[in-house]
Chains A and B, each alone.
Chain A
Amino acid sequence: TQLLEQSPQFLSIQEGENLTVYCNSSSVFSSLQWYRQEPGEGPVLLVTVVTGGEVKKLKRLTFQFGDARKDSSLHITAAQPGDTGLYLCAGARGGSNYKLTFGKGTLLTVNP
């Protein structure tokens, strides 16, 4: 059973378009993180959201945490080829044995 479902799995768009990717779960998380991973490299953290309903902006990227802390979305405005990569969401359950559960990711390709 996949705790975190990401959609779409694949997305190919043209430079300048807007897009939204989703991360959904039936479980409540104490926090949720978004990472971007480029081929052959480790994931790099983009943002952490903690509070239900929280919205965070990182330049052209807008992240939202659902009110019930079960889901999140990532919106990219005016996508650029440099945004190409695998976007992973990860939910945290906290505690001393801190573990992240990852979704399968959305593979985004932005064509010039």
Chain B
Amino acid sequence: SQTIHQWPATLVQPVGSPLSLECTVEGTSNPNLYWYRQAAGRGLQLLFYSVGIGQISSEVPQNLSASRPQDRQFILSSKKLLLSDSGFYLCAWKDGSGANVLTFGAGSRLTVL
């Protein structure tokens, strides 16, 4: 069966520090991968998505970047965090050629102080 792992679950970082959130998927190959951000427990905003290794599409201009160094690994990064980067970050995957259903990870809560 397929599983998705996200870490760390909780992170408190000072303004100006770097960020790295990691997401891995098991039990599938060539998935579509996504990073969403959720502010104040409300709707999800799509940040990045990837349909293959090294292929990253950015949805909104921001202080963040994403990379996909391996087929089932998706990383969200920042060189210098801003207060506005605080939020709940969710990784999700979809079978690249299968049903149009997203499966989400448990999320990473980032607080920038």
A interface residue numbers (CB < 8 A to B): 2, 30-31, 33, 39-45, 48, 86, 88, 90, 92, 94, 96-105, 107
B contact patch SS: strand
Contact assessment for B105 and A42 in the assembled complex, using a CB-CB cutoff below 8 Å: yes
Contact assessment for B100 and A96 in the assembled complex, using a CB-CB cutoff below 8 Å: no
Residues of A within 8 A of B32 (CB): 98
- CA distance in complex: A70, B92 (Å): 24
- CA distance in complex: A107, B107 (Å): 18
Could you show 15 A-B contacts with beta carbons less than 8 Å apart? Answer: A31-B100, A42-B90, A42-B92, A42-B105, A43-B44, A48-B99, A86-B42, A90-B44, A90-B102, A92-B100, A97-B49, A97-B51, A98-B100, A105-B42, A105-B43
Residues of A within 8 A of B92 (CB): 42
B interface residue numbers (CB < 8 A to A): 32, 34, 36, 41-46, 49, 51, 57, 59, 90, 92, 94, 99-107, 109
Contact assessment for B44 and A99 in the assembled complex, using a CB-CB cutoff below 8 Å: no
- CA distance in complex: A103, B43 (Å): 6
Contact assessment for A102 and B44 in the assembled complex, using a CB-CB cutoff below 8 Å: yes
